[in-house]
Structure 1
């Protein structure tokens, strides 16, 4: 699969260089809740760690899978992947990876097969809380071939067998002892959070040298890095959760650029471009970014599908995208983006229809009260808690609009927002939200949403809160589809299964689909080489290619 997304930038005359630039300051809107590569999934962490570590594989800006720390991408054709029968008679596959020569942790320790083995051992223990759980369940054996080579044996064959996702080396010489002491409490004792500036944690072009919780992360060149030499001696990443304040820091020169992955809402960036002319470079990058409302499904009133459908019918998404986002955010009918080859253009749609929304609420037993807010037979108000990331001007504007639209249908929305690091690390991951949660999923090309839709992925204490099915969605057919789609190697048959997945999603509404987001990247005119991907793997994984013009 090869897709390209993006926009052309107009060439502009480069200003005369006053002095060599060897530092770069980047503004983002969130701060990582943890620095451990395998605990919790948060875009801010992925962006920061993209400078400081390298996984085995990643999808690039061309949407093709490539090796980052491995020598050769395994395939059946090159013999590094072999079909086999598992000990219990299943169709399986063994995949062999060889680490690039010369890879070292920042303290000089070689990156080795032992680091991959430790990552596999920790992931296999459910008490550790690594995700995705299905990867570690399926990878039932890891064989150390030599100090740089491992073979993983999987108990099923998938079309994405060469992609290792978040599986990556972890520094066993630092982390193994901490993990062995007690896997269940490892996530609170990992050196990634207690000794974040320990150079031995990082194998990328830079290493983290200073952290100021909630405010900034500083990275300096990693002397142990043996890849392409990075241009910048130091990179500082500042967290400014309030987007107008972030824009002000850009204009004042306090930050050089704003990361599109975690930056300004698109409407704010469009207005900024109009005001500043060619002072900065702008790129509006469409991608696999799904803005939606997670729904607490396992408790009333949102457990009633009719209420979820009424919410969507009462939402005029087209008007919102045109007025707030200049029409640049295509409306979503499911979580599968039209840019993805498995998108079904004929899936059921829910156009704005206030009368139909009201009828569904009537049918569900919610009748208008004296103040216009509906009540059930017990006299309980139809009032829903509505959360998102505090300080994001675009999302907070959407909240206000949705609150008014839903009130017209008789639904009250009570807005309660939290800082991103609390919202993602605590409220969502521990399923403490009570109604609706507005945020975005970012996925890789043709990424099966097992972690968000399979009932095995509902976070719970027994798995140390791993999994991303925050709403508590349970559907037996969806469980089967999210398990078996990866195992279907025939593209045409797989497409039919994807079509069925999207049909169930559009009818059941495990989440309320809103739109697919475009990211607004804002760079200084002197910076070149940044290549946004438009998907899960962030641009910072190739930051050693960034250069000063």
Structure 2
């Protein structure tokens, strides 16, 4: 199947034929491969997609977003709204009620105390919660009764679905994590690797950056699910090997994130063992500009923090010139084909939230050179590298190890060389890069480089929490165990004030306008973030695996409880 047809006809690929469910575990074993290996089983200590999605097999939120972006209840009885009385008329509170009879995988009851504790865990002032933006504006979580909590906000919250909604904000068990608050959170290895959960599977063995062995949760709320008795999530390798393992050899049932050239995917599909599935969401491959100095000679508590501004990337003209030199159309052509679109936006969708910013789409090498000249960056010694005041434009540009990303690096290095910027390339094993280990120097959160490239997206269809990542104070730093979402250490009081306005604005047209302005502040007004490609999500599943519904608005493994084996 051509990838163009796959993307255009994606919705048709998601139709799931109803299957007569047998008893739990009757379909045996299912094999999943994530070429970026999970390193921890909690989204609260990692912003890496592979960790968030692995954890979603075990720990769940009160509600999720389905394949169309609709809010659907999971642990909750229903999604609270103003109409059903769950959201207050003044928009300052939301009340969630748990389904009756829910049990943790250890057999103990799930209660409102677990929900309240989850908020305390992430919002702890001495902690480093990777999902803190989800709890922005939360004043208090009040226990109403054993099954009910009310989340109170500091001011009206037109979009109150940040906490406990989507795979990035699941409920954790108070009894297991009670001694893991604040700075102790990363030290709780047993809890972080083997969380007690409510999801369809439980962890039997977790080998970080390698493999996770799981079995069906005996206390899962649906007695007929999951259909699979055991599950293996294998990590590592590369996207090519993952795709082949499903579509050519049939060794695995599901392969995530096939970040491969379109012709490669099409050739794999001819193997006949499986098929690719794809859809567009909000996944953007982009460059992050480090506004702090990553120089290894700096003290550990100064390096890559706001105490040490970057020697040249703090200059607008430098950041803009780097963006102008890039040919995004060519990047899409070599890397994604019909599964990619050039973009200048951090938030490319839904369409109502997407800015009409197209300024970056045309490559302008000569314009980039002129911009650097104007800012005083000239090649004073004839070595081909621009300099000013004794500082040379020398960039360390890092990303994760992946064939498409290394192709992008090579091209971007060439273009930057043309405008007088010397570029050193570095690629890091994806499991390490996205791992969130506070002791590792190689994580994308620490950002010990000048520029780094990666992609992520947000739960649901409202970008408020996503844009809140770039709030002042939300940056990774030593005192937060290097957790945080403001990767490039951007800080602008005007941006924060606009975020506050967005959080209290209920009129949809006004929300769209504010979100676009926030997007533009990060991109075309500052070039702090340099978007490259709006990436379609491409994964693959075996012909014998039924029930798969690709979801770009939540965890890709959101409905694994509904997967089943098709008899061939």
Paired with 1:46 and 1:125, the residues of 2 have a C-alpha distance of: 20
Match of 1:48 in 2: 54
Deviation at 1:378, TM superposition (A): 4.0
Q: Deviations over 1:517-541 (max 9, x none)?
A: 1122211112121111223x11312
Equivalent position of 2:117 in the other structure? 118
* Candidates 253, 256, 259, aligned match of 1:256: 253
CA contact (8 A) 1:141 1:154 kept: yes
Q: Distance in 1 between matches of 2:218 and 2:158?
A: 38
CA deviations over 1:270-318 (Å, ceiling 9, x no partner) = 3434643x43222222111011011102302211111111111111111
What RMSD in Å do the two structures reach over aligned CA positions?
A: 2.6
TM-score (norm 1): 0.88
- Counterpart selection for 1:214 from 209, 221, 235: 209
Matched, 1:341 2:335: no
Matches of 1:249 and 1:350 in 2, distance apart?
36
Choose which of 19, 29, 45 in structure 2 pairs with 1:39.
45
Q: CA 1:450/1:248 → structure 2, altered by over 3 Å: closer, same or farther?
A: closer
Call closer, same or farther: CA 1:72–1:338 in 2, change over 3 Å. Answer: closer
Is the contact between residue 331 and residue 515 of structure 1 (CA under 8 Å) also seen in structure 2?
yes
State the 1:224 CA deviation. 0.7
Residue matched to 2:387: 376
Structure 1 residues 396 and 383: CA distance shift in structure 2, 3 A: same
The structure carrying a bigger helix percent of its residues is: 1
Report the equivalent of 2:307.
Answer: none
Tell me, in whole angstroms, the C-alpha distance in 2 between the residues paired with 1:518 and 1:235: 27
Choose which of 145, 154, 170 in structure 1 pairs with 2:172.
170
1:438 aligns to 2:461 (yes or no): no
Show the counterpart of 1:453: 470
User: Aligned-pair distance for 1:383?
Assistant: 1.3
Counterpart CA distance in 2 for 1:7 and 1:379 is 56
Q: Which of 306, 314, 321 is 2:325 aligned to?
A: 314
Counterpart of 2:10 (choices 6, 9, 29) is 6
What is the CA–CA distance in structure 1 between the aligned matches of 2:479 and 2:351, rounded to whole Å?
34
Equivalences for residues 351-366 of structure 1 within 5 A: 351-366=362-377
Residue matched to 2:104: 105
Q: Deviation digits for residues 201-242 of structure 1, max 9, x if unmatched? A: 121111111122221111110001122511111111111232
Moved more, 315-324 or 33-42: 33-42
Are residues 495 and 253 of structure 1, via their aligned partners in 2, closer, same or farther at CA, if it must alter by over 3 Å? closer
The aligned counterpart of 2:536 is: 518
| Gap change, CA 1:326 and 1:475, over 3 Å in 2 | same
CA offsets 1:176-195 (integer angstroms, 9 cap, x no match):
1x236xx31222125323xx
Q: Could you tell me how far apart the structure 2 residues matched to 1:411 and 1:68 are? A: 51
Deviation, structure 1 residue 5 = 8.8
Matched-pair contact (CA < 8 Å) for 1:65–1:163: no
Task: String of CA shifts for 1:410-444, please: whole Å, max 9, x gaps.
Answer: 21211112122322314446534221111002113
| Partner in structure 1 of residue 229 of structure 2 | 233
Is the CA contact 1:314–1:405 (under 8 Å) kept in the aligned structure 2? yes
Partner of 2:238: 242
Offset, 1:347: 5.5
- In the alignment, the residues of structure 2 paired with residue 543 and residue 362 of structure 1 have an alpha-carbon distance, to the nearest angstrom, of 55
Whole-Å separation in 2 of the counterparts to 1:274 and 1:235: 24
Distance 1:163 1:121, change over 3 A: closer
Conserved in 2, the CA contact under 8 Å of 1:348 and 1:506?
yes
- Farther-moved stretch of structure 1 (436-445 vs 92-101): 92-101
CA distance in 1, matches of 2:277, 2:346: 24
Change (3 A) 1:58 1:371: farther
Q: 1:539 to 1:64 in 2, by over 3 A?
A: same
Q: For 1:443, what is the secondary structure of its paired residue?
A: coil
Q: 1:9 to 1:184 in 2, by over 3 A?
A: closer
* Change in 2 beyond 3 A, CA 1:74/1:440: same
The correspondence for 1:419, drawn from 408, 414, 429, is 429
Per-residue CA distance 1:50-72 (angstroms, 9 max, x = gap): 22121112211110112110002
Q: Deviations over 1:338-389 (max 9, x none)?
A: 4442112255445201110111121222223677632314454321001111
CA separation of 1:502 and 1:137: change in aligned 2, threshold 3 A: closer
Q: Matched residues in 2 for 1:207 and 1:268: separation?
A: 37
Distance 1:69 1:23, change over 3 A: same
Is 1:285 matched up with 2:279?
Answer: yes
CA distance in 2, matches of 1:65, 1:98: 15
Change (3 A) 1:371 1:397: farther
CA–CA separation in structure 2 for the residues paired with 1:433 and 1:26? 32
Runs of 5+ consecutive residues of structure 2 not aligned to the other structure: 1-7, 16-25, 293-309
- 1:494 is matched with which residue? 511
Aligned length: 521
Q: State the TM-score, normalizing by the size of structure 2.
A: 0.85
Q: Contact between 1:452 and 1:468, CA under 8 Å: does it hold in 2?
A: yes
Contact 2:252 2:542 in 1 (8 A): no
1:394 and 1:369, CA in 2 relative to 1: closer, same or farther beyond 3 A?
A: farther
Contact 2:291 2:314 in 1 (8 A): yes
Deviation at 1:495, TM superposition (A): 2.3
SS at structure 1 position matched to 2:558: helix
| 1:136 to partner: Cα distance | 4.0
2: CA distance, partners of 1:443 / 1:135: 11
In structure 2, the residue matched to 1:146 is 145
Moved more, 451-460 or 292-301: 451-460
- CA change 1:490–1:31 in 2 (3 A) is same
Cα distance, 1:163 vs structure 2? 4.5
